[in-house]
Amino acid sequence: MSAGENKLGRSLRGFNRYGSFFIAFVLLIELVLSYFYFMSYDHPYKRLLLNLILLILFFEIFLTVTMASISYTYRSNQVRSGILLFLQFGLKFMLPVCIAAAELLNSDVDDIRRIYIRINNALAAAVKREIRPEQVLVLLPHCMQNKDCGSKITEDIGRCAQCGRCRIGEVRELTRAVGARAAVVGGGTAARSLVREMRPDLILAVACERELLSGIADVGAIPVIGIINERPNGYCCNTSLDVKQFAEKLGCVIGACHSERSEESQTMRECE
């Protein structure tokens, strides 16, 4: 098994663990309420209790299908139109709950965040839209710049001399070749104001799991495709990027993926 597959398997195991705990917790509430329902004979609130039990039962089923949909999409890299609603619910509710629980326990957080990013990417790429290359904004983190480089690339990525000491030069060249825009940002605030200023139709963002998650939440309506960076020197110092993967995703967002859709199934293999 490759390192990538290992990571995918570990992420899924982490998500299944937290997702199952969450569902078990809701089930426990259901059982407690059911106990009170059956024990209270002529209670005036008995009908209300029954409605609540049925509502929680429906929620429980919804959670279970959501969990199965996330696992399926994560494994297969396919977004089926029939499970879109569950995936959106998973992104808005179930995955944030699992991430919050993992943060609380200080365990498997990045594993769950990776699932969130992958599902988000699949959904972002699955929406049918025409995107002109100049409406694509590539956002790179400042920590990708070689720490000994003096070029002020956060002001203008064009100042990169493409010396080869970091991946910024290659990314800049690839982006320029297809006519997309690219910028290096020093943090979330800079990224947000740049997005407000440039108003892109789609963002291709490179960052660590945590930054990607907060970036996706920050930009709201604009679809973001996240690429997790490589960190051979740890967080925030001379981080890197799989340029081949970046080139594939860039090519994909400006056209390649959209020609391969069918009504029933949208294969996201190239975008993922």
What does the block give as tokens for 137? 């904004």
Give residue 199's Cα distance to chain centre.
20
User: Please, which residue, 162 or 189, has the CB nearer to ligand SF4?
Assistant: 162
Contact 119, 95 (CB under 8 A): yes
Q: What's the one-letter identity of residue 83?
A: I
The site for ligand SF4 (CB under 6 A) is made up of: 145-146, 149, 151, 153, 160-163, 165-166, 168-169
Burial of 27 (0-12, 13-18, 19+ CB in 10 A): middle
C-beta of 145 vs 266, nearer to ligand SF4: 145
Q: With respect to ligand SF4, which residue has the nearer C-beta, 4 or 232?
A: 232
Structure tokens at 94: 């179930």
Find all residues with CB under 8 Å of 221, minimum gap 6, and list them. none
In the complex with ligand SF4, which residue's Cβ is closer, 172 or 249?
172
Instruction: State how far the alpha carbon of 149 is from the alpha carbons of 113, 146, 229, in Å.
Output: 31, 5, 19
Residue 143 C-beta: closest distance to ligand SF4, Å: 11
For residue 265, list its beta bridge partners.
80
Short-list 148, 149, 88, 96, CA closest to 120: 88
Q: State which residue, 121 or 239, has the beta carbon closest to ligand SF4.
A: 239
Nearest-CB residue to ligand SF4? 149
For the bound state, the minimum distance from the C-beta of residue 25 to ligand SF4, rounded and expressed in Å, comes to 48
Closest distance to ligand SF4 from the beta carbon of 225 (Å)? 23
Least Å distance between CB 232 and ligand SF4?
Answer: 15
Minimum separation from the CB atom of position 149 to ligand SF4 (A) = 3
Given the complex with ligand SF4, which of 81 and 233 has the nearer CB atom? 233
Task: Give the closest residue to 99 by CA, choosing from 81, 85, 111, 89.
Answer: 111
Rounded to the nearest whole angstrom, what is the least distance from the CB of residue 183 to ligand SF4 in the complex?
13
